[in-house]
Homo-oligomer: A and B are copies of this chain.
Amino acid sequence: MPETIIRVDMKKDPREQDQLPHNRWHPDIPAVVNTRPGRDFRVELMDWTGGQIRNDDNASDIRDVDLSRCHHLFGPIHVDGAEPGDLLVVDVLDIGPFQGHEWGYNGIFTPQNGGGFLTDLFPEARKSIWDFHGIYATSRHVPGVRFAGITHPGLIGTAPSHELLARWNKREQALIDTDPQRVPPLALPPIEQGALMGSLTGDAFKRAAREGARTIPPREHGGNCDIKNISRGARIYFPVYVPGAKLSIGDLHFSQGDGEITFCGAIEMPGFIDLHVDVIKGGMTKYGISQAMFKTSPVDPHYSDFIVFEGIGVGEDDTQYYNDVTMAYRRACRHAMDYLTNFGYTQEQGYSILSCAPIEGRVGGVVDIPNACVSIAIPTEIFEFDIKPNAAGPRHHVNSSNADLARAR
């Protein structure tokens, strides 16, 4: 059995756990446990909010979530013998929810909490609860859809060195400085308030908390990549920046579509992850690697029939953007969401489906100036009814007056 090297008690607050979580990236955060290359082990994790979201039909928890406390990362794990310049090889052996906690949530955040990809259109807090049935997920808030989850850690990475951390802080502050009052902000600077720095205390805590990088963006070390294909069965190669590599993990997703567009974002859950670690000595230099990379899994869900929506880099108001994949992605998402209303879904339900189901979001062309072009592919098999266009036209299979995303009350 893979030894459980990090345990959480779901009845306790994050700050009461035996192995304290952290929510900033900093090399000084002490490792909570040691392991060695060649071992399998289990890590238990709270969800990214540390338990702030409930399984109910009221989105007030989504509305009121305290993001300064997020993400709750578990670790760091010190890997014996790993040294700066090595590659840490991490096999994702298994992932699952805790027994008795076979559910997760997807939320639409308000702009005050960073919003989602379409926060200008959907500024209201909303929530959907997803029930797990083994490999499948369904939601009482989004009827008519059932899919195999592509389960993965949204966030996994090694600790930065002091030098790398300083670079991160410098470049992100420079961006913030271009529009410091923006809502949502352009980026989140280090902030002592809400900081969890593992077992650090006193001055060491203060110093690290004031420097520690926030965990929302992915960076060179991996981190919050939200890449759905770093899934059960994948192998990840991480740069090592500090002795022992100091691997931390958080933000388990039962499933996610490419883009994680609602921000909160996938089907979020607490649970366990089983890992195997190994080290390629000097691997960063041998292979010239400065950014985490990975190998895919043979058990990712493999649907074969997809309906695909295109998006180009032109705003809804017909503003032309220059090679803007982000705008193209927005438009493709909106085309897909509009299309799903044909079957009775609300826009919010469509938003949730794109965010949660195993959706493929691919870059088509990035050279056909001025229009970037992307595609968003939805497996047709995940619906209980046929969503392909036909001569008869669509039929409402879903009645959103019976079931829709929960609002805040």
A→B interface (CB under 8 Å): 1-2, 40, 87, 89, 91-95, 99-102, 114, 116-117, 133-136, 148, 167, 170-172, 174-175, 184-188, 216-220, 222, 224-229, 232-233, 237, 258-263, 265, 274, 276, 280-283, 286-312, 314, 318-326, 329, 331, 335, 338-339, 341-342, 360-375, 377, 380-381, 386, 388-391, 393-394
Determine if A302 and B305 form an interchain contact, defined as CB atoms under 8 angstroms apart.
no
Q: What are the residues of chain B within 8 A of A318 when measuring CB–CB?
A: 167, 170-171
Given contacts A310-B293, A370-B172, A393-B287, contact A259 B225 (CB under 8 A): no
Cross-chain contact A320 with B172 (CB below 8 angstroms)? yes
Q: Is the CB of A375 within 8 A of B227?
A: yes
A186 to B286, CA, bound (A): 40
Contact A363 B364 (CB under 8 A): no
Q: Is the CB of B365 within 8 A of A259?
A: yes
Q: In this complex, what residue of B is CB-closest to A179? A: B322
Distance of A370 Cα from B321 Cα, bound (Å): 19
26 example contacts (A-B, Cβ-Cβ < 8 A) are as follows A89-B389, A93-B133, A114-B369, A133-B274, A134-B232, A135-B297, A171-B318, A171-B319, A174-B319, A217-B371, A218-B310, A224-B365, A227-B308, A227-B375, A260-B364, A280-B390, A280-B391, A286-B394, A295-B305, A298-B301, A298-B303, A298-B304, A305-B381, A323-B326, A324-B326, A325-B325
Contact of A259 among B117, B364, B390 (CB under 8 A): B364
Would you call A365 and B225 a contact (CB within 8 A)? yes
Q: Across the two chains, which residue of chain B brings its CB closest to A155?
A: B368
Contacts of A321 in B (CB 8 A): 175
Q: Which residues of B contact A116 (CB under 8 A)?
A: 367
A133 / chain B contacts, CB cutoff of 8 Å: 2, 40, 91, 93, 274, 276
